[in-house]
Amino acid sequence: MSNALFIRSGRRYRAATPQEVYDAAAAAYVARESGIMISAPRDAHELCRVLVGRYENERFGVLFLDGRHRLITAEVMFTGTIDGATVYPRVVTKRALDLNAAAVIVTHQHPSGVAEPSEADRNITAKLAKALMTVEIRLLDHVVLGSDQAVSLAERGWL
């Protein structure tokens, strides 16, 4: 157990799970990247992969951007199963308003490793864009991640 990393659990410390270590590293990376400019879809891919990539269950994350497309923060908002996650546009919109975001990029990974967007992915993208548009927040992209590929719905002309 000499190579174990520990986390606080109440007043005691316990060995961290690999998932907890990865989550802590992702949070530190996001904090370090706060303020960077996202000027093209590819600029967001690495950040998206750190936020939601390489998990056994689907995770849906959001990059919140200011009016100049600088990163405010990035958060995992929903976690699902091996083949889907329920996404609530109202929750995403409320969080964007709380952070005073002007734009967002959403992302999720396919645990199957195949990055090809599904019809459900396209449908939730349309619902999110519509909900966000009502409060003048732009949905810039939806990045779907696979094992070694990222697909941008914006680059495909689906946004």
pLDDT band at 126 (very low <50, low <70, confident <90, very high): very high
Reduce the secondary structure of 30-72 to three states and give it as a string: HHHHCCCECCCHHHHHHHHHHHHCCCCCCEEEEEEECCCCEEE
The domain segmentation of the chain, as residue ranges, is 17-152
Q: Say how far apart CA 23 and CA 119 lie, in whole Å.
A: 29
Per-chain mean pLDDT for the chain: 87
CATH class (in words) of the domain with range 17-152? alpha beta
Average pLDDT (27-33) is 70
Q: What is the pLDDT of residues 40-98, one digit of tens each?
A: 777 788 888 888 877 888 999 999 999 999 999 999 999 888 888 899 999 999 999 99
Is the pLDDT reported for residue 32 higher than 80? no
pTM of this prediction?
0.84
Between 31 and 132, the more confident residue is: 132
| Beta-bridge partners for 13 | 8
| pLDDT at 14 (0 to 100) | 82
pLDDT recorded at residue 31: 67
